[in-house]
Amino acid sequence: MTAGDDYRRDLASLVERIRSLNPPDLASRFAIHGGISADSFQKASPVQEGTVAAVDGSNAVVVESGSFSIAAVRAAACGFSAGVRSFRSVTPLRLATLGREAQDRSFADLYLECFGAEPETPLSDDDPDRAAAVLRDTLEYWAALRTAERLGAGDLLVLDGALRVSHASHDPVLVRLMKTCAKRRVHLVAVTKRTAATWGGGLPLVPAAVALADSLSIPSPWFLPVDESLLDTTRFSQWRHGALVIAALHPRSLLAFKIEVPAPADGTEVRRIVSLLAGWSDDGRVTGYPYPLLDVHRTARIRADAVQQVKNDLMAGMGGAGLDLSRFRGLFGDYHGELERY
């Protein structure tokens, strides 16, 4: 068998696997499996009232050596009211070492700076990518708390992700955020762009809800509360605080999202939240997606030029400390880059 035959065989196998995730009877199977009918879908009406604020973060690896990496992280918050952006804030770009937490305390020091206490659970050194995400989340929660404190009754705070944490140290911070929002009567929601949630032995959740809504001629905006017993598995269930809802936000968009609101979910509260999200989901560039989340994503994003500037500053700093360029190359030289020249 030739290499071309191997490729075509693998491609055909992948197509068949993808087709199995979208069976012709997907809508009816989902309805039966979840006990869902047309009455299960709730209507919402787009509205722009008060302030809708969104928070997001970003992380990027700057340089890597065999034993540790250096990452840059930051978070941003953007608020919109009366049809325009009313505020935008960005944390300074923060730098941290990954793989040396026990020695360098990058996470512990940042957590202490943000929340005034040591994290109860230390950060492991064995997964640099996860460590970078935890550092980013630390800044995101700090930014979310500060943003919640500037919002008022009826406003909406939107998080990019879920109302659950992936590291135990952030659980009390998320609880604090929810209590702050409740005290100030600020609506809180988390929107997931891409969810791993499945049902019925591996079928994707959101496409099934969209297929059923389409088959029942349910017009957007709509939302569908989902009992988590319908799902195959629940990740991080010990740190989950949200009630799960599927929402479609614009009639001219095929997009729908898993959203989470603080549990237990109140139908009136969810309708208000979905209405506010829908009110900001008519931008032509990303129709059906809340524009405040797009704006804050672009604000927080660490672009390639920023990463290169950090590298340049790092080399300059090492030079000022008496370490010549050969030391930098010795620590962070990338043979992949060298090989790509040939």
Q: What is the pLDDT along the chain (342 residues), one digit of tens a residue?
A: 566 888 999 999 999 999 999 999 999 999 999 999 999 999 999 999 999 999 999 999 998 887 788 999 999 999 999 989 999 999 999 999 998 898 999 999 999 999 999 999 999 888 888 999 999 999 999 999 999 999 999 999 999 999 999 899 999 999 999 999 999 999 999 999 888 899 999 999 999 999 999 999 999 999 999 998 899 975 556 678 899 999 999 999 989 999 999 988 889 999 999 999 999 999 988 999 999 999 999 999 999 999 999 988 888 887 887 877 777 776 776 544 554 555
Query: Closest Cα partner for 41 from 223, 209, 253?
Result: 223
Cβ neighbours, 10 Å, residue 36: 22
Q: Give me the residue label for tokens 């996860």.
A: 130
For residue 23, cis peptide bond before it (omega within 30 degrees of 0): no
How far is Cα 274 from Cα 41, in angstroms, rounded to an integer? 12
Question: What is the third-level CATH fold of 42-97+140-300?
Answer: Nucleotidyltransferase; domain 5 (3.30.420)
Neighbouring-strand partners of residue 63: 70
Burial (CB < 10 A; 0-12, 13-18, 19+), residue 141, is: buried
pTM for this one?
Answer: 0.92
Domain span(s) for CATH 3.30.420 in the chain: 42-97+140-300
pLDDT at 149: 97
- The tally of CA atoms less than 13 A away on the side-chain side of residue 203 is 23
| Both structure tokens of 163 | 């109302």
Cα→Cα distances 20→23, 28, 204, 256, Å: 6, 15, 11, 21
Q: Please give the pLDDT value at position 339.
A: 43
- Contact yes or no for 76/65 (Cβ under 8 A): no
